[in-house]
Structure 1
Amino acid sequence: MKVRTLRKDKVNIITLGCSKNMVDSEVLSGQLMANDINVVHENTRLDHNIVVVNTCGFIDKAKEESVNTILDQVSLKKKGKLDKVYVTGCLSQRYRDDLEKEIPEVDAWFGTMELPLILKEMEADYKAELLGERMLATPRHYAYLKISEGCNRTCSFCAIPLMRGAHVSRPIEELVKEAEGLVRKGVKEVMLIAQELTYYGLDLYKKRQLNELLNKLADVEGLGWIRLHYAYPSRFPIEMLDVMRERKNICNYLDMPLQHASNNMLKAMKRQITREEMELLIADIRSKVPGICIRTTLIAGFPGETRADVEELKDFLRRMRFDRVGIFTYSHEENTSAHGLGDNVPAEEKEARAQEIMEVQQEISLEKNQEKVGQVLKVIVDKKEAGRYLGRTEFDSVEVDNEVVINTGKKLPIGEFVMVRITKAFDYDLEGDVVEM
């Protein structure tokens, strides 16, 4: 990296895609800091001379954003405003050979598991002893905790195993130590993330161990909320619900992507579950954890999807009444088994179906929010915008879910918990007044 002396270099990391990518960027930042290299995230001051673009290669829109970001940084390099441009992450892992030819101005390309090689390129040493040490790119009161890497599932639409490899769980002791370190930094909420959360432990301990991990994390003093993301419905470890119900700092919240409800589509997607089995699972979850918030994500426009399939999905939403729903339009990914099916739903029709499905959920969301009017809920204060505080309940994750507009005449510390009486309900948000306890 001998562009300038080591002390004068400043590295800006740009992160695209999911929260798992964000954790990778935070770990890279921690390693660079340990090597006395100045590092920042998403730097807008443009006083850095080196850029690392951590890319996403999940779906077409994400890939396009990643390529455009790389080209923007290369343009700055051509103008003399940058010395080096490095690229890492999923897009680089998946398309490195093609990208090297198309964008030769990038100084080096790295895959998803090549952190030591990135550091070597910058003449920095990989410090294995920095277990869990990260420079948080999130506000200091919450953080993501990646409990595993990769995925062993074979969903026909998904290219993640091509980019992230097979499932590898991190040891419980390592994750607890990292959580303790995050709490020392001021973190109040950790969000457990993985490609497939419920598979946790099968490779390390020869059995699913999410319940054991949750118990150990719940014991971490000072950890206010633990939130679960990306649970797979097939072979769901139902015993973890007992832990969720019993431990007060585990949010009554479960992010469980279902993708569809039509059995024809579920079979084509290779989801290893039927609609009937999903309905029984959801009923079981709600029975074991009364009041739980279930979030799911869906796909519109999968190859072969018919109007009947769309109507079945809408009926499923009306019956299940999920608290939170997100939807993607199908992205035709090469080297996935669905790629051979043919992308036969036009892009405009995919978008129309997604909108139609979300209109069903919008009504459900408003009705569920209206039920909360008059309730007093625990809310974490996330930020202050336009003179008003915004926060979240335990039923809402960062960026993807509802917010609570908090009315108060007092100054509220960011990252603290307050009790709020809900006074207004909107389609996707709530409003309320701070209650003095």
Structure 2
Amino acid sequence: MNMKRGKVNIMTLGCSKNLVDSEMLLNQLDLNGFQVVHDSDKDDANIVILNTCGFIADAKEESVNTILNFADARKAGKLDKLLVMGCLSARYKEDLTKEIPEVDKFYGKFDFKEVVKDLNATFYEQKMYHRVRTTPAHFSYLKISEGCNRHCSFCAIPQFTGNHKSREMESLVEEAKGMVAGGVKELLVIAQDLSYYGIDRYGESKLAELIDKLADIEGLEWIRLHYAYPSKFPMEVLKVMRERKNVANYLDIPLQHITDRMLGIMRRKITKDETIKLVNKIREDVPGIALRTTFLVGHPGETEEDFEELKAFVQEYPFERMGVFAYSSEDDTYAYKMYKDDIPQEVKEARAAELMDMQQGISAQFSQKQIGKTLQVLVDREEEEYFVGRTEYDSPEVDCEVLIDKAAGMQVGQLYDIKINDATEFDLFGSI
């Protein structure tokens, strides 16, 4: 197994959950003696594995185009093998196999063992959750569950991930301890639905208990929570967030819409009044928290009145961080089967742009309030003029950054107290 097995380039498309899957597969192949790289732009790998995204139209298009580009290389004899896995492959395996025969094989989302076997290698079951991490050394993702039980009208994810499956708590804590021992200072706890963690395995939500145990790990500076479902949100998490200093004052809780009519059509199992009470309760129990949310506009049935009510909600209950998606009609979802996709694309995109324009102003106000404060900042990288980092209110790649005047002795991966001197809509400027 120590012999040179060839060079494998795993390309990850889509979300951080896909990235964790790629890291697990990288480790299995590394154990088998392959030379492994991730998202390499060099063409010196003889095997390419594409981990695709199949969430919405734009992501699917990117995945298909990437497959076609590498299919051309495979056809030209520049690759020995081209394998495709992940969400898009799971959704459309049969069609893709017919349409792109240059691909040696298409796999489902979780077919790690089959991929390894087809490369004439051994799958090490006892090291299933070990990873070759591809993020900077000081932060990493911790995926605590797979799948989703919610079945929202617009979402196809349960089709290819299955029902919610929580990982064992002790296994997650041990994995986190290993990463912190290896230099990780920030853990981004991720799942399709954090709120449901533990219900399938333990009979009740165990998210608060898990976060509390993670917070006990010595050397772990920040724990950040991504994708909590608002319906039946586990309120006990708020106590942990308030009392444990290394749980960041940050919560990603996608609301998707606000009118009772649209929440019903979307099958969100929550009302406008319940949503407002939840947002107020979170802010009351965790003073100073930064909330990130996501809204979906242009869903079948959304009227101008619905959109105006959503805009009014965003103004009245501003979120520090926000993303907006235009509805994409996805095969075999409830909305695809039950509703006609009759809102023009230009209307969807105009609504998304209008909402994001509003958010730009809200974000600017939040940033301006930071001027003069001293904030703890984790330095992510060094650029020519600045060190670039993040506050506890910001997650990698999706949120604001802090540009720090260079000072002697500063290091990437370390936390510093930074005085904020200036701000734009999406960036802060500071000095040590």
**Structure 2-normalised TM-score?**
0.98
Deviation of 1:307 (Å): 1.0
- From 105, 110, 113, give the equivalent of 2:102: 105
- From 258, 270, 288, give the equivalent of 1:273: 270
CA contact (8 A) 1:132 1:181 kept: no
Q: Which amino acid aligns with 1:23?
A: V
Deviation of 1:79 (Å): 2.1
- From 321, 325, 332, give the equivalent of 1:324: 321
Q: Does 1:208 align with 2:208?
A: no
CA contact (8 A) 1:131 1:174 kept: no
- Tell me what 1:241 maps to: 238
Q: Report how many residues are paired.
A: 430
Q: Which amino acid aligns with 1:401?
A: D
What do the CA deviations read for 1:165-194 (whole angstroms, capped 9, x no partner)? 000000110000110111122111110110
Deviation of 1:285 (Å): 0.5
**55-64 or 301-310, which deviates more:** 301-310
Task: Indicate the SS of the match to 1:54.
Answer: strand
Q: Does 1:345 align with 2:312?
A: no
- Tell me what 2:44 maps to: 47
Q: Does 1:310 align with 2:307?
A: yes
1:6–1:79 Cα change, 3 Å: farther
Report sequence identity in percent: 53
CA contact (8 A) 1:391 1:405 kept: yes
- From 8, 18, 23, give the equivalent of 2:20: 23
Q: Take 2:384 and 2:325, find their aligned partners in 1: how far apart are those partners?
A: 31
In structure 1, the gaps of 5 or more residues are none
CA contact (8 A) 1:116 1:126 kept: yes
Kindly report which structure 2 residues correspond to 1:355-434, keeping only aligned pairs within 5 A, or say none.
355-434=353-432
Q: Take 1:355 and 1:22, find their aligned partners in 2: how far apart are those partners?
A: 28
- From 168, 173, 176, give the equivalent of 2:173: 176
What do the CA deviations read for 1:183-216 (whole angstroms, capped 9, x no partner)? 1221111101101001000011100000110111
CA contact (8 A) 1:56 1:66 kept: yes
Q: Which amino acid aligns with 2:253?
A: M
What do the CA deviations read for 1:34-83 (whole angstroms, capped 9, x no partner)? 11111110112221100000000000110110010011111111222211
Task: Indicate the SS of the match to 1:363.
Answer: helix
Deviation of 1:6 (Å): 5.9
What do the CA deviations read for 1:119-141 (whole angstroms, capped 9, x no partner)? 00011111111153101111111
Q: Does 1:75 align with 2:66?
A: no
Q: Which amino acid aligns with 1:84?
A: K
Task: Indicate the SS of the match to 2:394.
Answer: coil
**Structure 1-normalised TM-score?**
0.97
Q: Which amino acid aligns with 2:381?
A: K
What do the CA deviations read for 1:357-409 (whole angstroms, capped 9, x no partner)? 11111111111111111000000000122331110000000000010111133
Q: Which amino acid aligns with 2:375?
A: L
- From 56, 66, 90, give the equivalent of 2:87: 90
CA contact (8 A) 2:5 2:33 kept: no
Q: Take 1:47 and 1:40, find their aligned partners in 2: how far apart are those partners?
A: 10
Deviation of 1:410 (Å): 1.9
Q: Take 1:261 and 1:358, find their aligned partners in 2: how far apart are those partners?
A: 16
Q: Take 2:147 and 2:121, find their aligned partners in 1: how far apart are those partners?
A: 26
Q: Take 1:137 and 1:328, find their aligned partners in 2: how far apart are those partners?
A: 27
Q: Take 2:266 and 2:325, find their aligned partners in 1: how far apart are those partners?
A: 14
In structure 2, the gaps of 5 or more residues are none
**320-329 or 385-394, which deviates more:** 385-394
Q: Which amino acid aligns with 2:309?
A: E
